[in-house]
Structure 1
Amino acid sequence: MSNAVLITREPVINKQHKITANRLIVHATSVAQAVETLSELADVWPTTHPVFVSLYRLVPTPDLLGWKAPANAMVEIPTQAIAHPLTLELIPKLQAAGISLNLTWHQPDTIVPPDVAWRFVIIDAKRQPVPIAPPGLALAWGLPDVPAFRNAIVGGYDGASGWFFLHGVKTDGKLAPSHAQIVRLLNLVRKNAEVKEIENVLKQDVALSYKLLRYINSAGFGLMCEIQSFRHAVSILGYDKLHKWLSVLLISASRDPSAPALMQTAIARGRFMEQIGAAFFEKAELDNLFITGAFSMLHLLLGASLQSALDEMHLPAPICDALLGGDGVYAPFLKLARALESFDDKNLASLANDLHITPERINRAHLEALSFADSLQFG
């Protein structure tokens, strides 16, 4: 798998803590190889948000023009390659093709070609403050946690790129009453309680009913009709699928400022595990894989420890084993989902190889999961 192309990612976060773009890191040995892989993924390309495309350590060359870039794609040009003859040849051609450009690793002494309209400028915030009059919207990179993000915004950055929001969130509390209500619903659905009993709980919070139906109707089930009520949902989807969407409801119940980004990431993890796991598990287990990935960030979303949150629910043992101990049959798939959230393609390749999953399958499931999570519009 040494010559395989793998794609990892990091999100782009705006001042409101929402993911407004996705940054795809293409790990390839040549630009031509990257182009071939990107072209093969056209049918699962995420379209809800802009997508930054980084060629990582490769010098961007005119070979990139062989890729028919989607309308929301933005190509990154690293400052280390800005003076390379082939990159200088590529830039005006990308502009002529209507492809937006981002400048990465900008420094105060960076000399950029004239007449280039940079959309975003990624800056290593660990090394420097936001520059005066950057050539595009300034994004901080390398932030360690949520407090550092707040400071970066105060310091003049327009947003940030990275996974800082996974750190600096308190997780030492108890479940809030609103969270406990959803957990109660989850437990009722899992034990196949009478529809009337579940409806009585939902009637106590009309907002929960509305959100649940909104997610179900927006989630690409391919239903021939719109779900109008919980009773209708039971008749069309069954209890297992409803448990999955109540899990989404629990994830979306957080009011933490970082919640929208956490929610999108949790759902992307769950969807990826569900997609990849289809070749390994019976169909009935795929919802459990989704819940495992989605609940892997439950402690961050709810502000309670993962143990205390799971103690309130009656989840199957493989889910708890993966979440609490990092073992069991679901654990390798959760590790694989987490490996997409880094620059370490070697670790991703090793985990995929252990499961005998091809890079092509990894990349397709990754982008499909990202499209799915983006479509739910959290926050």
Structure 2
Amino acid sequence: MVQSVLGSLLLGYRPLWNAARKLAGVQLYVHSAGATVVDAPHLLRTIQELWTASSPPLLLSPRTQQLLMDLLEHAPRGAPWIEVPDAWLNIPAVRERARQAHARGLRMVWRGELNHLPDAATAQLFDNSMLHLSSTDAMLALQAAATGKTSPLIAGQLYDNVASRTLAAHCLDQGGALALAGWPMEDVLYSLRHRPLQPAHQVVLRLMKAIDEEQSIDRFEQILGEDPLLAYRFLTHCNSAALGLATGVDSLRRGLVIMGYGSLGRWLADQLPHTATEPDLHPIRASMVLRARLTEHLLAPGAGKELRGEVYLSGLFSQLDELLREPLGVILRRLPLSERVYNAAVLHTGPYAPSLEMACALESDDGGAIRQLCETHELDPEHVNRCLLRVLSELVVTRPENH
């Protein structure tokens, strides 16, 4: 049996966010697993098989020179964008392959410092840039945002190392950035610390519309699970004295069955006036939902729907402390959730912990941490990578409208 290429590498990811604060694409980190040589053509074919026309644009970021050279040599026109670090262009073999790749129409992204841009001959090889903002660049950009002076930013580029909400707004709203790699979650939440965070207005409306259209309970559960705050409030309501249930509601699905269409619609109508429309919160919610989906998919195949629902909640609620500004253990103890959910999210123990820990590790380019988790929990790298690619391929991207 031919071994899949997905067993010979380690992957990680980072979302790319556009000016609408919606997903613009995904950066996929690609590490070699040990001394094994990655079959670059096989990797490209595997991604092509999993990706559809509605899947997000992909930026491949190989983490070894050999893997980069192999991808540049074999990737055809129309393949995902490939990131080329500036430092590696000093190596003649890398530069020559980049030149050949450009000649056959491969799209490449130059990665380097904003204050150390490539010369004209190098720049013409690339379609775009991933520009890293130094502390000095960030300070100059923030000063420009405050005073209206000329910004050091270059429009139409990707930006990295954007750690503040103000800087993110300047990059996307005034600087014309194509997208930001990652999102300044910590600073966004800190800037909103003086007001309670609310569920997303758009998610509540979508669920109300699904009720009006009498869609399936599966669809209700899916939409409800797209906002961690809404899901948490729903379970809190289901377990409140107002409903007076004899037994606790420990899952979204059970709560939906008990409430029924009418009660659910009325509860949502009560929530609507208090919902949030803050765009800067969307990448935070979307990232939490992505973690939950990954956690669920990483669970061993064959698990039933009820168990998968529990695993999903483990991922979805794993960062509620960031939103509610309370210890996670205190938050989760208010609900009659399965001990397995609490143990995974709070204690990092139990049967769901390996899936949740891996979902968290995949949110970075730390190949060593991912490799260690595979060994510790006896997770098959091929299974982990296939789950990641499948979940990423199903993400919805808001395409810019053509005028």
Q: State whether structure 2 residue 314 is matched by structure 1 residue 324.
A: no
Cα RMSD of the aligned pairs, angstroms, is 3.9
1:26 aligned to 4, 27, 30, which one? 30
Q: Look up the SS of the partner of 2:266 in the other structure.
A: coil
CA contact (8 A) 2:59 2:83 kept: yes
Aligned residue identity for 2:157: A
Quote the residue 1:335 is aligned against.
357
Tell me by how many angstroms 1:208 deviates: 10
Quote the residue 2:15 is aligned against.
11
| Separation in structure 2 between the aligned mates of residue 133 and residue 284 of structure 1, nearest angstrom | 49
CA contact (8 A) 1:318 1:330 kept: yes
Per-residue displacement from partner, 1:150-202 (whole Å, max 9, x unpaired)? 35557736142135325541468667598476335665684946958432222
Quote the residue 1:219 is aligned against.
none
Tell me by how many angstroms 1:340 deviates: 0.6
CA contact (8 A) 2:321 2:327 kept: yes
Tell me by how many angstroms 1:307 deviates: 4.7
Quote the residue 1:43 is aligned against.
49
CA gap of 1:260–1:208, structure 2 versus 1, over 3 A, is farther
1:182 aligned to 234, 256, 269, which one? 234
| Separation in structure 2 between the aligned mates of residue 330 and residue 301 of structure 1, nearest angstrom | 22
Q: State whether structure 2 residue 134 is matched by structure 1 residue 126.
A: yes
Quote the residue 2:156 is aligned against.
137
- Calculate percent identity across the aligned residue pairs: 20
| Separation in structure 2 between the aligned mates of residue 287 and residue 376 of structure 1, nearest angstrom | 25
Query: Aligned runs of 1:1-379 on 2, under 5 Å?
Result: 4-28=8-32, 33-45=39-51, 47-58=54-65, 60-61=68-69, 64-68=72-76, 71=78, 73-106=80-113, 107-113=115-121, 116=124, 118-129=126-137, 134=154, 137-150=156-169, 152-153=171-172, 156=175, 158=177, 159-170=179-190, 176=198, 179=230, 182-183=234-235, 190=251, 192=254, 197-204=259-266, 255-279=277-301, 281-282=303-304, 284-300=306-322, 306-307=328-329, 309-372=331-394, 374-375=395-396
Tell me by how many angstroms 1:74 deviates: 0.8
| Separation in structure 2 between the aligned mates of residue 325 and residue 62 of structure 1, nearest angstrom | 42
Tell me by how many angstroms 1:263 deviates: 2.8
Q: Look up the SS of the partner of 1:332 in the other structure.
A: helix
Per-residue displacement from partner, 1:216-257 (whole Å, max 9, x unpaired)? xxxxxxxxxxxxxxxxxxxxxxxxxxxxxxxxxxxxx75443
| Separation in structure 2 between the aligned mates of residue 331 and residue 66 of structure 1, nearest angstrom | 38
| Separation in structure 1 between the aligned mates of residue 37 and residue 104 of structure 2, nearest angstrom | 18
| Separation in structure 1 between the aligned mates of residue 375 and residue 324 of structure 2, nearest angstrom | 34
Tell me by how many angstroms 1:103 deviates: 1.0
CA contact (8 A) 2:250 2:335 kept: no
Tell me by how many angstroms 1:142 deviates: 2.0
CA gap of 1:324–1:122, structure 2 versus 1, over 3 A, is same
Tell me by how many angstroms 1:290 deviates: 1.5
| Separation in structure 1 between the aligned mates of residue 284 and residue 112 of structure 2, nearest angstrom | 26
How many residue pairs align between the two structures? Answer: 331
Q: Look up the SS of the partner of 1:8 in the other structure.
A: strand
Aligned residue identity for 1:82: L
Tell me by how many angstroms 1:308 deviates: 5.7
TM-score when normalising by structure 2: 0.68
Q: Look up the SS of the partner of 2:288 in the other structure.
A: helix
Tell me by how many angstroms 1:333 deviates: 1.6
TM-score when normalising by structure 1: 0.72
Quote the residue 1:235 is aligned against.
none
Aligned residue identity for 2:121: P
| Separation in structure 1 between the aligned mates of residue 58 and residue 256 of structure 2, nearest angstrom | 45
Instruction: List runs of 5+ in structure 1 lacking aligned partners.
Output: 212-252
CA contact (8 A) 1:166 1:262 kept: no
Tell me by how many angstroms 1:88 deviates: 3.1
| Separation in structure 2 between the aligned mates of residue 116 and residue 11 of structure 1, nearest angstrom | 26
Tell me by how many angstroms 1:53 deviates: 0.8
CA contact (8 A) 1:11 1:161 kept: yes
CA gap of 1:62–1:340, structure 2 versus 1, over 3 A, is closer
CA gap of 1:161–1:208, structure 2 versus 1, over 3 A, is farther
Tell me by how many angstroms 1:10 deviates: 1.2
